[in-house]
């Protein structure tokens, strides 16, 4: 696919001319690059791609891509994308956002999107903090992180493990990626988009403004030492025991993607209305009566 | 004057088969050539609660609920007291009850109604597979005068299998034989000409059907009383015409799935009631800002909070009109009858698609869960028509200013039409903007596209030309309409104005509708007078304007409105 002669769409084709408003050093720059690189590899025409997001720094990403985009309300990107994908199955639908958008306000939709297993790819840029509202703890923040404006002594709750939740809820493809390796992340996204059903990619994407120690993430991440599995039991054990810094494809499920029930098509709406008709037995009744 | 209609109430505990009797009675009355109307009343439980089916049959169309019950069939006495308020018995009422189930409760026994005893349980016990409710059905059809063969035809539709139909008919026959003389009950004439073109439908079914006629091919929803039947019918029907239905994990998801599908170009709808409607508000605002068509049906029930889920009220008007954050103009449409649920919903889809705006359809439990046998209304010719460009121009701008305020909407898949739909304020190109000029421009655009549109005569039902007028909306319209029969009592006659379009307001049309009106009675089914306050804030009303508002769960009756008008007429 890298042959220039066949390559109709270059990375530029997928980038809009709007300048991102992210802080210097934000991991989301790398993720933006990875998405357009992945689309180049896939050669999907830009108008066939829709990127849906919620609210947050990372949720601004649709406008920075040259694709159809929807920047909706906080936490509801997944159901909006589900509606779009079911209505227009031929589109490539990506969902993007942050850990607050996806796991806090949108947590219920995350579980049910995994469970529904519609053919979507969900990219969460996880920086363990709310950046846009200036530094509050998110569902993936460490319990003793005391810099949060609303949790002065630390959130005091265990961070939850999005990949474990996704596995338990039925997601069909799981991967962890890092914004410090845009090429590797692009490769993972290509696989995620190609894999049928709901693909979830957690991208470690540091927020140097509110979590400056995350600058060391690029030294901590390392490739997963094992091959991806399609066995959910094995995947669960690995995900429960890893240190959250293994990157790569972690699970390739074999579930059938969500499909609508197959029924016999009826051409006319009027035929469906016949169930409401009142048969005209009345006149007959008057004759019975006359007799 | 001979009584033109009969009202029959079937009551019993949940699971006793009350609704089966009610539905069968309604269908058989339809086959007989009569019009029919059935209100269902139940507690929130599925089994063990209380259920009543209040049926009205007449050779003439029925527009409102009767004030009194002519015939009460009590399948059992369990919990019937809970209907004390709803079942009004007079000296002319007959009560059929089973003597072996003990004394009638005080609310029934103390009324002036005459009790007639029929041993429903014992008769059912003599039949293999017999049930007391079928015996009660037999009693009812005999007393009302429905020919036996129509009951059989109805039960053959209801029950699968010869044995079950046979057992049911044996019960009906036992009831037929045991029925007391129908002394005092009106005898309704059988029709002498064919009665074609009628249908048996609930408001919720008509709403769903209207949506499909409007072009809806995607629906998502989360179950909620009393709107679930809309979703159920769509779930069964949409796939048959190539559409899609999704059961969502909650109402937040449902409305966003609808917005997503509509963004993709497929007209879409969801249905809910008060609590779910409240959850959808933020995203309805998204549809306003991003200019995405979306239809939301709210089948209103008693509120606030969980309220009275199974009973009707019109108290969600405020949230429908004013519930969105920001200045967020949108469409609010309300059907004026069970039949009108069909056309009003179709119209709402049409408006939503044309104007790229969310449309809220305010139905209510009294419309949605009432089943009627009535003349099927003509399907109006309005199809959803969204302005989707065939060719995308160079430098396409999704929110470009146009004379109508509506901008051509590209759809995913169209080359050159790329844009990001935004909940953020944006400029014509759809790029987020905090500039004062862009904000004002887009606020004006979203307002003007709604106010510049010509909504036509369908915005309201206006009848009569008197100087005394009733103004109402939704379910009470039928009871208000019945007052027109007594127009002669009023100097200068009586006029009825029933609004169908609640937002955007129509000052010129309203001024014309109220031209020559000196006395105005506002009728609504709410405690706080929401409709009255809305009218006061939007329109010039006559000096002599009065309000009759009452909360649910009891319906607004024609007699109550008549009483209000009479007080006014007194010198």
In chain A, where the domains are located: 11-265
Asked if the Cβ–Cβ distance from B260 to A265 is below 8 Å, we say no
Residue B140 contacts residue B36 (beta carbons within 8 Å): no
Per-residue pLDDT at A259 exceeds 60: yes
Q: Distance between CA atoms of B410 and B429, rounded to whole angstroms?
A: 12
pLDDT at A6: 61
- Listed range (A61-70, B58-67, B204-213, B545-554) with the worst mean pLDDT: B58-67
Residue A229 contacts residue A251 (beta carbons within 8 Å): yes
Q: Distance between CA atoms of B319 and B300, rounded to whole angstroms?
A: 11
pLDDT at B448: 98
Q: State chain A's mean pLDDT as an integer.
A: 93
The predicted-structure confidence for B366-383, as pLDDT tens digits, reads as follows 999 999 999 999 987 666
* pLDDT bucket at A283, cuts 50 / 70 / 90: low
pLDDT at A284: 54
Q: Which CATH architecture has domain B6-178?
A: 3-Layer(aba) Sandwich (3.40)
What's the CA dihedral at B246, B247, B248, B249 to 10 degrees? Answer: -150
- Count of Cβ atoms closer than 10 Å to residue B121 Cβ: 17
- Chain A residues within an 8 Å CB radius of B218: 83, 86-87
Q: Which residues of A106-121 are buried (b: 16+ CB within 10 A; e: fewer)?
A: bbebbbbbbbbbbbbb
pLDDT at B195: 83
pLDDT at B445: 98
Q: What is the Cα Rg of chain B in Å?
A: 26
pLDDT at B192: 78
Residue B355 contacts residue B291 (beta carbons within 8 Å): no
Identify which of A80, A281, A289 has the shortest CB distance to residue B260: A80
SS3 A45: coil
The residue-averaged pLDDT of A33-45 equals: 98
Identify which of A68, A109, A279 has the shortest CB distance to residue B418: A68
Cα torsion angle, A253, A259, A261, A262, sign: negative
Q: Within B227-339, where are the H helices?
A: 228-237, 251-263, 274-290, 317-322
Q: What is the Cα Rg of chain A in Å?
A: 24
pLDDT at B384: 63
- Chain A residues within an 8 Å CB radius of B256: 72-73, 76, 79-80, 83
Domain A11-265 -> CATH class: alpha beta
The predicted-structure confidence for B253-312, as pLDDT tens digits, reads as follows 999 999 999 999 999 999 999 999 999 999 999 999 999 999 999 999 999 999 999 999
Q: Distance between CA atoms of A88 and A49, rounded to whole angstroms?
A: 11
Mutate which of A46, A53, A70, A101 to disrupt the B interface (most B C-beta within 10 Å)? A70
Q: Is B148 exposed, middle or buried (0-12, 13-18, 19+ CB in 10 A)?
A: middle
pLDDT at B1: 36
Phi and psi of A64, rounded to 5°? -90, -5
Per-residue pLDDT at B128 exceeds 60: yes
Phi and psi of B55, rounded to 5°? -110, 140
The predicted-structure confidence for B415-469, as pLDDT tens digits, reads as follows 999 999 999 999 999 999 999 999 999 999 999 999 999 999 999 999 999 999 9
Q: Where are the domains of chain B?
A: 6-178, 200-375, 387-453, 457-569
The predicted-structure confidence for A213-232, as pLDDT tens digits, reads as follows 999 999 999 999 999 999 99
**With pLDDT > 70 as the criterion, what percentage of chain A qualifies?**
93
User: CA angle at residue A239 from A194 to A124, to 5 degrees?
Assistant: 50
Asked if the Cβ–Cβ distance from A278 to B218 is below 8 Å, we say no
pLDDT at B289: 98
Cα torsion angle, B553, B562, B530, B63, sign: positive
- Chain B residues within an 8 Å CB radius of A286: 33, 190-193
pLDDT at B490: 84
Asked if the Cβ–Cβ distance from B260 to A277 is below 8 Å, we say no
B200-375: which CATH number, 3.40.50.300, 3.40.50.970, 2.60.120.10, 3.30.465.10?
A: 3.40.50.970
* pLDDT bucket at A289, cuts 50 / 70 / 90: very low
Asked if the Cβ–Cβ distance from B419 to A69 is below 8 Å, we say yes
Per-residue pLDDT at A3 exceeds 60: no
Q: Distance between CA atoms of B172 and B150, rounded to whole angstroms?
A: 12
- Chain A residues within an 8 Å CB radius of B250: 108
Asked if the Cβ–Cβ distance from A82 to B260 is below 8 Å, we say yes
Asked if the Cβ–Cβ distance from A285 to B256 is below 8 Å, we say no
Q: How close does chain A come to B506, measured CA to CA in Å?
A: 31
Q: What would the two tokens of residue A133 be?
A: 């509202």
Longest dimension (CA), chain A: 98
Q: Distance between CA atoms of B23 and B372, rounded to whole angstroms?
A: 10
What number of C-beta contacts closer than 8 Å exist between A and B? 212
Identify which of B256, B421, B431 has the shortest CB distance to residue A18: B431
pLDDT at A20: 96
- Chain A residues within an 8 Å CB radius of B32: 281-282, 285
pLDDT at A291: 35
Give B160 or B376, the one with higher predicted confidence.
B376
Q: Distance between CA atoms of A240 and A164, rounded to whole angstroms?
A: 7
Give B79 or B157, the one with higher predicted confidence.
B157
Q: What is the pTM of this model?
A: 0.96
Residue B473 contacts residue B311 (beta carbons within 8 Å): no
pLDDT at B276: 98
- Chain A residues within an 8 Å CB radius of B242: 265
- Count of Cβ atoms closer than 10 Å to residue B189 Cβ: 14
The predicted-structure confidence for A137-160, as pLDDT tens digits, reads as follows 999 999 999 999 999 999 999 999
Asked if the Cβ–Cβ distance from B415 to A45 is below 8 Å, we say yes
Least CA distance to B425: which residue of chain A?
Answer: A71
Nearest Cα to Cα of residue B350 among B451, B205, B211, B241: B211
The predicted-structure confidence for B537-567, as pLDDT tens digits, reads as follows 999 999 999 999 999 999 999 999 999 999 8
- Chain A residues within an 8 Å CB radius of B253: 76, 78-79, 82, 108-109, 112
Asked if the Cβ–Cβ distance from A71 to B259 is below 8 Å, we say no
Per-residue pLDDT at B524 exceeds 90: yes
Per-residue pLDDT at A5 exceeds 60: no
Least CA distance to B194: which residue of chain A?
Answer: A283
Q: Locate the DSSP E strands across B187-346.
A: 198-202, 218-221, 244-247, 268-272, 294-300, 331-333
pLDDT at B420: 98
Q: How close does chain B come to A85, measured CA to CA in Å?
A: 8
Identify which of A63, A84, A286 has the shortest CB distance to residue B260: A84
The residue-averaged pLDDT of B128-133 equals: 94
The CA–CA distances, whole Å, from B188 to A183, B25, B56 equal: 82, 15, 12
Give A26 or B195, the one with higher predicted confidence.
A26
Q: Distance between CA atoms of A276 and A22, rounded to whole angstroms?
A: 58
Q: State chain B's mean pLDDT as an integer.
A: 94
Asked if the Cβ–Cβ distance from B256 to A79 is below 8 Å, we say yes
Q: Distance between CA atoms of B341 and B346, rounded to whole angstroms?
A: 8
DSSP conformational letter for B60:
S
Q: How close does chain A come to B229, measured CA to CA in Å?
A: 14
Mutate which of B30, B37, B192, B253 to disrupt the A interface (most A C-beta within 10 Å)? B253
Mutate which of A12, A73, A87, A110 to disrupt the B interface (most B C-beta within 10 Å)? A87
How many CA atoms are closer than 13 Å to the CA of B537, on its beta-carbon side?
13
* pLDDT bucket at A2, cuts 50 / 70 / 90: very low
- Chain A residues within an 8 Å CB radius of B192: 286
The predicted-structure confidence for A40-53, as pLDDT tens digits, reads as follows 999 999 999 999 99
The residues facing A203 across adjacent strands are A125, A177
Q: Within chain A, where are the H helices?
A: 28-42, 61-64, 77-87, 99, 107-116, 162-169, 182-194, 217-220, 232-241, 269-273, 282-290
SS3 B364: strand
Check whether domain B457-569 has CATH 3.40.50.920, yes or no: yes
Q: Is B107 exposed, middle or buried (0-12, 13-18, 19+ CB in 10 A)?
A: middle
**With pLDDT > 90 as the criterion, what percentage of chain B qualifies?**
82
pLDDT at B186: 83
- Chain A residues within an 8 Å CB radius of B420: 62-63, 68-71
- Chain A residues within an 8 Å CB radius of B283: 72-73, 76
Asked if the Cβ–Cβ distance from A87 to B153 is below 8 Å, we say no
Q: How close does chain B come to A68, measured CA to CA in Å?
A: 5
């Amino acid at each position: 696919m890298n042959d220039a002669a066949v390559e109709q769409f270059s990375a530029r084709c997928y980038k809009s001319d709007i300048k991102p408003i992210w802080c210097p050093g934000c991991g989301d720059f790398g993720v933006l690059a990875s998405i357009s690189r992945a689309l180049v590899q896939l050669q999907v025409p830009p108008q066939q791609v829709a990127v849906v997001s919620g609210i947050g720094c990372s949720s601004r990403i649709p406008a920075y891509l040259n694709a159809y985009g929807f920047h909706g309300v906080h936490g509801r990107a997944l159901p909006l994308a589900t509606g779009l994908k079911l209505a227009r199955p031929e589109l490539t639908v990506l969902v993007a956002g942050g850990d607050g958008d996806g796991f806090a306000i949108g947590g219920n939709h995350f579980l049910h999107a995994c469970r529904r297993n519609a053919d979507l790819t969900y990219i969460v840029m996880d920086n363990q903090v709310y950046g846009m509202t200036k530094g509050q703890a998110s569902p993936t923040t460490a319990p003793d992180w005391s810099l949060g404006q609303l949790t002065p002594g630390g959130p005091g709750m265990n961070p939850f493990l999005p990949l474990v939740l996704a596995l338990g809820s039925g997601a069909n493809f799981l991967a962890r990626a890092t914004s410090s390796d845009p090429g590797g992340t692009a490769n993972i996204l290509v696989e995620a988009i190609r894999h049928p059903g709901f693909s979830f990619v957690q991208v470690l994407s540091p927020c140097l403004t509110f979590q400056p120690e995350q600058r060391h993430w690029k030294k901590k991440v390392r490739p997963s030492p094992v091959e991806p599995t399609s066995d959910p039991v094995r995947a669960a054990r690995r995900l429960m025991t890893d240190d959250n810094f293994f990157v790569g494809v972690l699970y390739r499920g074999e579930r059938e993607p969500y499909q609508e029930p197959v029924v016999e098509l009826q051409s006319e709406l009027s035929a469906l209305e016949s169930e409401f008709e009142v048969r005209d037995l009345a006149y007959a009744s008057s004759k019975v009566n006359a007799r | 004057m001979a009584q033109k209609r009969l009202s029959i109430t079937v009551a019993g505990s949940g699971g006793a088969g009350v609704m089966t009797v009610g539905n069968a009675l309604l269908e058989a009355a339809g086959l007989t050539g009569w019009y029919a109307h059935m209100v269902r009343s139940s507690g929130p439980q599925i089994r063990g609660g209380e259920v009543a089916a209040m049926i009205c049959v007449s050779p003439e169309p029925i527009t409102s609920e009767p004030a009194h019950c002519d015939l009460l069939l009590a399948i059992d006495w369990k919990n019937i007291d809970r209907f004390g308020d709803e079942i009004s018995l007079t000296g002319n009422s007959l009560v059929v009850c089973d003597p072996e189930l003990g004394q009638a409760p005080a609310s029934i026994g103390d009324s002036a109604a005459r009790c007639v005893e029929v041993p429903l349980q014992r008769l059912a016990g003599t039949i293999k597979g017999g049930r007391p409710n079928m015996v009660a059905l037999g009693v009812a059809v005999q007393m009302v005068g429905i020919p036996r063969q129509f009951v059989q035809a109805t039960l053959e539709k209801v029950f699968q299998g010869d044995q079950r139909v046979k057992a049911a008919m044996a019960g009906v026959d036992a009831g037929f034989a045991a029925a007391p003389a129908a002394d005092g009950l009106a005898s309704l004439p059988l029709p002498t000409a064919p009665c074609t073109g009628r249908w048996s439908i609930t408001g919720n079914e008509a709403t769903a059907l209207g949506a499909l006629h409007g072009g809806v091919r995607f629906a998502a929803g989360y179950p909620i009383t009393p709107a679930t039947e809309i979703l159920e019918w769509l779930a069964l029907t949409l796939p048959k015409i190539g559409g899609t239905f999704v059961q969502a994990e909650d109402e937040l998801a449902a409305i966003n799935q609808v917005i997503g599908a509509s963004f993709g170009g497929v007209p879409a709808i969801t249905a809910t009631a008060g609590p779910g409607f409240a959850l959808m508000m933020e995203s309805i605002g998204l549809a306003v800002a991003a200019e995405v068509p979306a239809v939301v049906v709210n089948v209103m029930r008693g509120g606030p909070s969980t309220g009275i889920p199974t009973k009707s009220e019109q108290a969600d008007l405020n949230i429908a009109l004013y519930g969105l954050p920001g200045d967020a103009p949108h469409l609010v449409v309300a059907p004026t009858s069970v039949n009108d649920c069909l056309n009003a919903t179709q119209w709402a889809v049409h408006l939503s698609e044309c104007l790229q705006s969310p449309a809220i359809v305010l139905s209510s439990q009294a419309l949605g869960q009432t089943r009627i046998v009535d003349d099927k209304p003509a399907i109006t010719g309005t199809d959803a028509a969204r302005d989707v460009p065939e060719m995308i121009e160079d430098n396409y701008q999704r929110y470009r200013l146009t004379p109508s305020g509506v901008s051509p909407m590209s759809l995913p898949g169209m080359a050159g039409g790329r844009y990001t739909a935004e909940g953020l304020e944006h400029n014509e190109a759809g790029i987020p903007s905090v500039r004062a000029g862009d904000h004002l421009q887009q606020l004006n655009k979203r307002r003007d596209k709604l106010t510049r549109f010509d909504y036509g005569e369908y915005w309201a039902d206006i009848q009569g030309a008197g100087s005394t007028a009733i103004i109402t909306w939704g379910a009470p319209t039928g009871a208000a309409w019945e007052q027109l029969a007594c127009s002669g009592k009023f100097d200068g006659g009586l006029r009825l104005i029933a609004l169908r379009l609640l937002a955007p307001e129509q000052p010129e049309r309203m001024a014309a509708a109220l031209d020559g009106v000196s006395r105005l009675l506002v009728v609504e089914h709410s405690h706080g007078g929401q409709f009255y306050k809305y009218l006061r804030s939007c329109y010039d009303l006559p000096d002599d304007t009065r309000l009759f508002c009452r909360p649910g769960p009891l319906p607004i009756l024609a007699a109550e409105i008549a009483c209000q008008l009479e007080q006014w007429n007194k010198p």
